[in-house]
Structure 1
Amino acid sequence: MSTLTLTFDDDLATQAQEYAQRTGTDLSVLVAELLRPVVAPARKRRPLSPEVAALAGCISLPPGFDYKTALGDALWEKYQ
């Protein structure tokens, strides 16, 4: 393993440390997991199926649309 020093602004560093604690993970592991898909060689990425690729751009969402809120609302309605 290599040791690497990263520099973040104070707010981001604090938030990242708090997130790592809340999720029960180490900050180094968290950063590695976030970087892994970014640096993965293209040949290791699975290509999208033609059916999924055809869906790209098929929906327009209003500005400020919050997916998590919409999903939460839909699940709330479903299970009430």
Structure 2
Amino acid sequence: MSTLSLTLDDDLINQAQEYARRTGTDLSVLVAELLRPVVVPARPRRPLSPAVEALAGCIILPPDFDYKKALGDALAEKYR
């Protein structure tokens, strides 16, 4: 493992150290976790099955559709 020196604003460093303490992690681990998604290429996604792909675009929802509310309503109805 290598050592890296960064120059950051003192307030940012203090806030990051406090966050690391609160979450019980090391500041180096925190920085690595934040950098990894940016620098490591994402794995290619598996192709969708033809059955799932055929469903694309089969429903048009209004722009203000609230998925969480609709799901909650459906579950409340199911378990009533």
Percent identity between the aligned chains?
A: 72
- 2:24 is the alignment partner of 1:24: yes
| Change over 3 Å in CA distance of 1:46–1:39 after alignment to 2 | farther
Within 1, Cα distance between the matches of 2:19 and 2:4? 20
- Report SS of the residue matched to 2:6: coil
Tell me the amino acid that sits aligned with residue 12 of structure 1.
L
Listed as ranges, the gaps of 5+ residues in structure 2 are 65-80
- What is the aligned length? 54
Whichever of the two has the greater Rg, that structure is: 2
Within 1, Cα distance between the matches of 2:8 and 2:31? 12
- Report SS of the residue matched to 1:8: coil
Question: Where does 1:1-80 land on structure 2 (aligned, <5 Å)?
Answer: 1-42=1-42, 44=43, 46=45
Within 1, Cα distance between the matches of 2:13 and 2:27? 10
Q: Which residue of the partner structure matches residue 70 of structure 1?
A: none
